[in-house]
């Protein structure tokens, strides 16, 4: 019997949108079909001997969903000519590798049965945010209501990669079965709902949270849930209760511990260009949950085209008020949702709205960009001029720089950002972190 090989080349990326899970969905579907599956997770070249076992009539699917995987994918293609590549389709097409697009039916089946195969996987790939639930026995990722997002924000690769650009709806029965299975396998496990917007259907979200809580009766732990949402839908969710007090009692009861919302920036103009919610609505929501048991992790994107010192100041000012306290977070996640935590750095992704014009909009630092290392600096920031400098907060500046290992910088009024980073003996990707941190803290304005 021929075998089915699924190879996920190693990447330094942890997560970048729901399509990262496709490799697990594909492995699930093939196992469910009864195929003889060899799933090589986090494949590196040290495992190369195993490739000798691949026969010419075996099916081979290799995932390519992030830039750092490209070289390994090229090498594997030379070695395995029958391989097909799936993951982030526009990048695979740009690489001119043979493309395999998972159908909507396959993605749905993968989500439907994924929970039943988790014990056959070596890794459960989660976003950084699982660090918020580090006291749980295990944190499971689950797409609870729908896969994908059709909002097509200017920078985001989720919509361009969605088959047919239409979201895939997950029936409630499948979600409840998956949750039951997780609790059977690892009682007390936390759940991270990977839907791009878990609160888009308020009634379904409430039902799933209540059903999840039911599974914790008689258990040592209460439920613990992380979910992604948006300003508008999480506001609608809170509005669906008679009072905020009632809404927050519900959140506490069902263990809704953290809601992640992609703010990206608190600069009005930049947010509008990206296609994000209005900042005033984000402020209203942030005020509403200030004392609530459910916290919001405001996710941000730094160095996107249009970023300026003023936009860094605006985001820093927002997160000073409404961000999480880094000292209360596990170390590796302190750089997101916090005042000078820069979140993800902008990556140019083929297929996104701004991709074709991106070269004119800034300086590319890497042809293999990743989320947590600056790979692009927009001209809007490079050309920006420092108008005010506050040199009195050295200790605070040092603390935030230490989270990145970034160098201390001295700023002067009237200087442009590109002049300041070019006189330093550090790589630009490192110096620009120091500029952004200073901007977030208001050390430069």
Interface with ligand SF4 includes 127 (CB under 6 A)? no
336: which DSSP letter?
S
Q: How far is CA 35 from CA 30, 117, 166, 441, in A?
A: 6, 14, 29, 55
Interface with ligand SF4 includes 341 (CB under 6 A)? no
In the block, tokens 């977070």 appear at 329
In the block, tokens 């949750």 appear at 179
- Least separation, in Å, of the C-beta of 347 and ligand SF4? 13
Select 27 or 301, whichever has its Cβ closest to ligand SF4.
301
Interface with ligand SF4 includes 30 (CB under 6 A)? no
- Least separation, in Å, of the C-beta of 151 and ligand SF4? 4
Which helix (H) or strand (E) segment holds residue 211: the answer is: helix 202-214
Select 106 or 196, whichever has its Cβ closest to ligand SF4.
196
Interface with ligand SF4 includes 156 (CB under 6 A)? yes
Contact track, ligand SF4, 168-207, x by CB under 6 A: ----------------------------x-----------
- Least separation, in Å, of the C-beta of 234 and ligand SF4? 12
- Least separation, in Å, of the C-beta of 156 and ligand SF4? 3
Interface with ligand SF4 includes 251 (CB under 6 A)? no
Number of residues lying near ligand SF4 (CB under 6 A): 9
Select 156 or 259, whichever has its Cβ closest to ligand SF4.
156
In whole angstroms, what is the distance from residue 172 CA to residue 179 CA?
11
Q: According to DSSP H, which parts of 196-338 are helical?
A: 202-214, 231-239, 244-254, 268-274, 279-288, 309-322
Rg (CA), the chain: 22
In the block, tokens 């750095």 appear at 345
Chain mean position to CA 48: 30
Contact 279, 266 (CB under 8 A): yes
Select 255 or 262, whichever has its Cβ closest to ligand SF4.
262
Interface with ligand SF4 includes 159 (CB under 6 A)? yes
- Least separation, in Å, of the C-beta of 304 and ligand SF4? 11
Select 149 or 259, whichever has its Cβ closest to ligand SF4.
149
Interface with ligand SF4 includes 261 (CB under 6 A)? no
73: Cβ contacts below 8 Å, ≥ 6 apart: 9, 62, 64, 85, 95, 97
Q: For the sheet containing 37-43, what is the strand order?
A: 37-43, 4-9, 59-64, 84-87
β-strands 146-147, 376-378: how paired?
Answer: unpaired
Interface with ligand SF4 includes 362 (CB under 6 A)? no
Q: What is the DSSP string of 104-150?
A: HHHHHHHHHHHGGGGGG-S-----GGGGGGTTSS-EEEE--SEE---
Candidate residues 262, 323, 374, 378; the one interacting with ligand SF4 per rule CB under 6 A = 262
Select 151 or 387, whichever has its Cβ closest to ligand SF4.
151
Interface with ligand SF4 includes 151 (CB under 6 A)? yes
Of the ranges 3-11, 114-122, 147-155, 397-405, which one interacts with ligand SF4 (CB under 6 A)? 147-155
Of the ranges 23-31, 87-95, 155-163, 168-176, which one interacts with ligand SF4 (CB under 6 A)? 155-163
196: which DSSP letter?
T
Please give the angle made by the CA atoms of 286, 288 and 293, to the nearest 5 degrees.
Answer: 90
Select 151 or 284, whichever has its Cβ closest to ligand SF4.
151
Residues interacting with ligand SF4, by CB under 6 A? Answer: 149, 151-153, 156, 158-159, 196, 262
């Amino acid at each position: 019997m021929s075998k089915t090989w699924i190879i996920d080349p190693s990447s330094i990326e942890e997560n970048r949108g729901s399509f990262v899970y496709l490799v697990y969905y594909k492995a699930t579907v093939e196992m469910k079909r009864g195929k003889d599956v060899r799933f090589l997770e986090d494949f590196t070249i040290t495992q190369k001997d195993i490739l000798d076992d691949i026969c010419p009539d075996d099916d081979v699917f290799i995932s390519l969903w992030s830039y750092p995987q490209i070289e390994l994918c090229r090498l594997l293609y030379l070695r395995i000519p029958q391989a097909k590549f799936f993951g982030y389709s526009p990048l695979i097409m740009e690489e001119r590798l043979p493309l395999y697009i998972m159908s909507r039916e396959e993605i749905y089946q993968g989500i439907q049965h994924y929970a039943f195969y988790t014990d056959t996987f070596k890794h459960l790939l989660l976003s950084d945010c699982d660090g918020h639930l580090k006291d749980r026995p295990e944190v499971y990722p689950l797409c609870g209501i729908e896969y994908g997002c059709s909002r097509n924000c200017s920078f985001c690769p989720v919509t361009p990669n969605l088959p047919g650009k239409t979201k895939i709806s997950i029936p409630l029965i499948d979600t409840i079965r998956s949750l039951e299975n997780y609790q059977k396998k690892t009682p007390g496990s936390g759940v991270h709902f990977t839907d791009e917007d878990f609160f888009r259907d308020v009634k379904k979200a409430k039902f799933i949270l209540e059903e999840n809580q039911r599974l914790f009766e008689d258990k040592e732990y209460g439920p613990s849930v992380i979910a992604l949402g948006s300003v508008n839908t999480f506001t609608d969710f809170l509005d669906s209760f008679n009072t905020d007090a009632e809404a927050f009692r519900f959140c506490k009861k069902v263990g809704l511990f953290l809601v992640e919302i992609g703010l990206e920036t608190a600069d009005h103009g930049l947010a509008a260009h990206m296609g994000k919610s209005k900042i005033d609505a984000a402020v209203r929501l942030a005020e509403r949950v200030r004392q609530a048991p459910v916290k919001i992790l405001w996710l941000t994107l730094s160095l996107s085209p249009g970023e300026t010192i003023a936009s860094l100041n605006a985001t820093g000012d927002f997160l000073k008020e409404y961000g999480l306290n880094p000292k209360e977070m596990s170390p590796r996640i302190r750089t997101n949702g916090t005042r000078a935590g820069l979140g993800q750095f902008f990556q140019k992704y083929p297929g996104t709205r701004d991709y074709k014009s991106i070269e004119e909009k800034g300086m590319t630092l890497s042809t293999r960009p990743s989320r947590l290392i600056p790979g692009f600096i927009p001209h809007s920031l490079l050309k920006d001029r420092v108008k005010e400098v506050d040199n009195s907060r050295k200790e605070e500046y040092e603390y935030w720089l230490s989270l990145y290992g970034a160098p201390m910088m001295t700023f002067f009024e009237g200087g442009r950002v590109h002049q300041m980073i070019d006189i330093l003996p550090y790589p630009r990707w490192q110096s620009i972190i120091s500029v952004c941190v200073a901007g977030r803290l208001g050390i430069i304005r």
